[in-house]
Amino acid sequence: MTVIGWIQIILFCAIVIALVKPLGWYMTRVFSGERTFLSPVLRPLERGIYWVGGVDERREQHWLTYTVAMLLFHVGGFALIYGLMRLQAVLPFNPAGQTAVAEDLSFNTAISFITNTNWQNYGGESTLSYLVQMLGLTHQNFLSAATGIALAMALIRGFTRSSMRTVGNFWVDVTRCTLYVLLPICIVYALFLVWQGMPQTLGAYVDAATLEGGKQTIALGPVASQVAIKMLGTNGGGFFNANAAHPFENPTALSNLVQMISIFALGAALTNVFGRMVGNQRQGWAIFAVMGILFVAGVTVTYWAEANGTSALQALGLTGGNMEGKEVRFGVVASSLFAVVTTAASCGAVNAMHDSFTALGGMIPLINMQLGEVIIGGVGAGLYGMLLFVVLAIFVAGLMVGRTPEYVGKKIEAREVKMAMLAILVLPLMYLGWTAVGVVLPSAVASMANAGPHGFTEVLYAYTSGTGNNGSAFAGLTGNTLFYNLTLAMAMFVGRFFMIVPAMAIAGSLVEKKSIPASAGTFPTTGGLFVGLVIGVILIIGGLTFFPALALGPIVEHLAMNANTLF
Amino acid sequence: MLKEIRPAILVLVLLTAITGLAYPLAMTAIAGVIFPKQAQGSLIEKDGKVIGSALIGQEFKEDKYFHGRPSATVAPDPNDSSKTVPAPYNAANSGGSNLGPTSKALNDRVKEDVERLKAENPSAGVPVDLVTTSASGLDPDISPDAALFQVPRVAKARSMSEDVVRELVTQNTQGRFAGVIGEPRVNVLALNLALDAAKAK
């Protein structure tokens, strides 16, 4: 580890913290339906969408209607992506002449994008036409992100409203999020990325005659417009196979820094939106502190492990850390930081190959996802995931002092706790259950690229990433097989919707309750004790569920590495 | 609930048209005007022919050129499309080796490369980036150490003085952005073009 390395990490953290309040202020206005400086341009467009769609923007929905609207919206999104992938050969914007994508891969990819996972069993430049990248994937990058934020808004309204039945209007929330938050930022952001060197063209791949007389086919495409929303919406599905490690998808150290910031920006700001909406910004900062502490701990471990390198490299006299699977322009520090950011935030873009990280360096991304991606988390999803843990922490605190637990004015009772537990427990069922199948079924075992404990970690990482809707991978695993396409799709589906529906049920239950003013007996939820308690609950629940699996993978691999055992 | 079917279709169609067509096409048009070079892939042309992209590494094997990092990219096997064959710096199929820290295959490959490089230049320690594959397989850069390490070989192959070659390396070394962000690096293609130009003079 170096001083300049830590300066880069601190600079990143400082910029993210500085963005929390202004973005939180702006987003609060957007979701409260207030005018913003963009309203003169966007308001007519917004009204047009409601008029065509038959949406009455003043009519709010019961939580069940809100959830059904969200699910229907996803059915349409799924059909669109699946259809485009199957038909791409006969559709326009296909200069590379890509052929129809197989049924199982199309199915996996469609599920992957509607769940905001963006797992890549396809290689972008070798599989997809420009039309699929734009109309199929770029659009769903926007809408799955907008959906996540909309759901977080519904849950926040559950906390802030007193004795009501409705939690907002799904169509209004999604439309406003897309038009007022995501699209304007992306327009500026995409142009910045092109300036840094990212292609944005509909032209065909270019054949270059190299200096040594070889031929190099250079894949191009409308990259910048997709990458902007891929990062901002914590989607993470790359335009190219190598994702943000590809020089066209992340040309410079500056583009890398901005990409990392944009992964965290909206998720971090949502804690402030929460604080503003419940009437006390310190409630938001307390949640942000929980996230921040866990994040810095993760960065420290991964950076330390990668800077140390592997014992095999050290034995050969190679210094400078573990550079296998990393790019020179990012080096060890920006690669380690990116890996922790992308898995904390449910993004899943990678600027280095996690599969080639050291055992402990690669374990932190795994843990980040297994904790439920609540460290900033996916846009929206991170906040509602964290609020589920808060519900549990408050419940535990209530048990300790023997009072009915309450949080920001709402009593937390049996229904909320049951729903929170359901959402939290369904995740390990998916990733541990399918990993168990994946390591015994011979056809699944054949997909592993590495032998020994690392192969086990590849499978565990795949299902953890899928269930957590992250999308990053230990990419050596050959995921484009019938078994993995189908089982990963199931993990992604369950991981998304079996978390959303209980979270919405909590929103519906809370919104009907009366708000009670804080009294002397109320457990304060803005101080260090609360922050410590939530961190404790997250680590204990996480630790109990996945520590045994980690012991079989990265931990045993670390011990093997130190004993110079190779596989 | 049935009332929600109409917006589920129409709001989806409209938002898709805006975000999936209007937005990327508008960005393509605007970028093509303001940043035409970058938007087309930062291509480098020589005598009217494209010789590569400033951002994409290409394979160098001859002694007279600086070499980039090992690349793990592959291409479909021409004899059996279900298999792949090594194809370094394949810019139509990016990717890394994905070999882990306890991989025997990785360790053997690195060891072989280290020994080869040690024989080539016994006077300096082998830089780690010169024996490890990049994440994309298309890394255009090497570290300044990795460039300096190759100076004796390149100078000898070109019958140039090491000082002149070393000076070219220094000229082509880019520092950190604002002195803080990223890592110092040397773009291999740019350096090799500068070498060819120096020779032409």
Per residue in A542-558, pLDDT tens?
Answer: 878 889 999 999 999 99
pLDDT in tens, A343-378: 999 899 999 999 999 999 999 999 999 998 899 988
Given pLDDT bands bounded at 50, 70 and 90, which one contains residue B201?
Answer: low
Residues of B in contact with A200 (CB under 8 A): 27-28, 31-32, 38-39
- Number of folded domains in chain B? 2
Domain stops at, among A279, A300, A324: A279
Question: Would residue B111 count as lying in a domain?
Answer: yes
Contact B7 A171 (CB under 8 A): yes
If contacts are CB pairs under 8 Å, which of residues 146-175 in chain B contact chain A?
Answer: none
Question: Would residue A293 count as lying in a domain?
Answer: no
Question: Would residue A295 count as lying in a domain?
Answer: no
Domain stops at, among A229, A261, A279: A279
Q: What is the mean pLDDT of residues B129-143?
A: 97
Question: Would residue A340 count as lying in a domain?
Answer: no
Contact B40 A201 (CB under 8 A): yes
Of the candidates A72, A208, A253, which has its C-beta nearest B50's C-beta? A208
| Among chain B residues, CA nearest to A350 | B135
Q: Are residues B54 and B142 in the same domain?
A: yes
Q: Are residues A252 and A400 in the same domain?
A: no
Q: Does B33 touch chain A (CB under 8 A)?
A: no
Question: Would residue A405 count as lying in a domain?
Answer: yes
Q: Are residues A272 and A408 in the same domain?
A: no
Residues A205 and A210: their CA atoms lie apart, in Å, by 15
* Domain extent for A558: 379-562
Question: Would residue B152 count as lying in a domain?
Answer: yes
**What share of chain A in percent tops pLDDT 90?**
84
Q: Are residues B51 and B132 in the same domain?
A: yes
Go through chain A and tell me how many residues it has: 567
Close Cβ partners of A270 (under 8 Å, ≥ 6 residues apart): A24, A27, A149, A152, A379, A380, A382, A383
Confidence (pLDDT) at B200: 64
Question: Would residue B29 count as lying in a domain?
Answer: yes
pLDDT in tens, B80-95: 888 899 999 999 999 9
Question: Would residue B180 count as lying in a domain?
Answer: yes
Q: Are residues B12 and B108 in the same domain?
A: no
Q: Are residues B109 and B193 in the same domain?
A: yes
Q: Does B128 touch chain A (CB under 8 A)?
A: yes
Question: Would residue A430 count as lying in a domain?
Answer: yes
Q: Are residues B112 and B158 in the same domain?
A: yes
Question: Would residue A345 count as lying in a domain?
Answer: no
Close Cβ partners of A479 (under 8 Å, ≥ 6 residues apart): A119, A121, A447, A462, A473, A485, A488
Question: Would residue B109 count as lying in a domain?
Answer: yes
Question: Would residue B23 count as lying in a domain?
Answer: yes
Contact A125 B98 (CB under 8 A): no
3-class SS letters over B6-67: HHHHHHHHHHHHHHHHHHHHHHHHHHHHHCHHHHCCCEEEECCEEEEECCCCCCCCCCCCCC
pLDDT in tens, A417-438: 999 999 888 889 999 999 999 9
- State the nearest Cα–Cα gap between B165 and chain A, in angstroms: 18
Residues A433 and A31: their CA atoms lie apart, in Å, by 39
Q: Are residues B113 and B155 in the same domain?
A: yes
Q: Are residues B50 and B145 in the same domain?
A: yes
pLDDT in tens, A479-537: 899 999 999 999 999 999 999 999 999 999 999 999 998 888 788 899 999 999 999 99
Confidence (pLDDT) at B83: 86
pTM: 0.96
Close Cβ partners of A327 (under 8 Å, ≥ 6 residues apart): A245, A247, A335, A351, A352, B134, B135, B136, B139, B141
- Number of folded domains in chain A? 2
* Domain extent for B160: 43-70+97-200
Q: Are residues B123 and B152 in the same domain?
A: yes
Q: Are residues B12 and B64 in the same domain?
A: no
Q: Are residues B9 and B63 in the same domain?
A: no
Q: Does B115 touch chain A (CB under 8 A)?
A: no
Question: Would residue A325 count as lying in a domain?
Answer: no
Q: Are residues B123 and B32 in the same domain?
A: no
In A227-366 the beta strands, taken as DSSP E runs, fall at none
Question: Would residue B91 count as lying in a domain?
Answer: no
Domain stops at, among A279, A305, A331: A279
Question: Would residue A291 count as lying in a domain?
Answer: no
- Backbone φ and ψ for A194, nearest 5 degrees, come out as -65, -45
If contacts are CB pairs under 8 Å, which of residues 6-25 in chain B contact chain A?
Answer: 6-12, 14-16, 18-21, 23-25
